[in-house]
Amino acid sequence: MINFFLWIGIALGCLVFVCLYRASVGPTVMDRIVAISVIGTKTTVILLLMGFIYSRIDMFIDISMGYAILNFIGTLAISKFFYSRKSIIPGSKYFAERGQKNKCLS
């Protein structure tokens, strides 16, 4: 069973590396935030798997809960930072219409 947990952890680690592609390449800032949030959710599960592998689950579960809460609060904080800012794509034409009505909702 420990080997099974080890392989699941390795598979999740590979998925984290695939998400890192979107976090580093992603065209807008929002793509990066989404990718970081996804990585955080996977890390919560990986921490619990590590707890079972080292048979110290009572210690790792607190770390995992802290990571889940910090991931949620960090995502909220970064997205709140962009609430009042108008353009996140440099040089986009929506930057000029800053004072007008919101254009996304037609």
Partner 1 sequence: MRYVIVFIILFINWVIWSGLLDLFHLSLGVISCLIVTFMSHDLLFKRKTFKWSDISEAFRFFAYIPWLLYQIILSNIHVAKIVLKPEMPIDPDIVPYQHKLKKDISITTFANSIILTPGTITALIVDDKFYVHCLDKKVAEDLLTGEMEQRVAKVFGEDK
Partner 2 sequence: MSILEIISIILILGGLFFFFTATVGLIRMPDYYCRMQATGKGDTLGAVLCLSGLALYNLDSGLSFANIIVSIKIMFIAIFIFIANPTATHAISKAGIDCEVKPWTKKKEVQS
**Does residue 96 interact with partner 2 by CB under 8 A?**
no
Among 3, 101, 82, 88, smallest CA distance to 49 is for 3
CA distances to 22, 40, 56 from 65, rounded to whole Å, are 25, 11, 15
User: Nearest approach, Cβ of 58 to partner 1 (angstroms)?
Assistant: 7
User: Nearest approach, Cβ of 30 to partner 2 (angstroms)?
Assistant: 5
User: Nearest approach, Cβ of 13 to partner 1 (angstroms)?
Assistant: 21
**Which residues contact residue 89 at a Cβ distance below 8 angstroms, ignoring those fewer than 6 apart?**
27, 28
Binding mask 49-68 for partner 1 (x = CB under 8 A): ---------x---x------
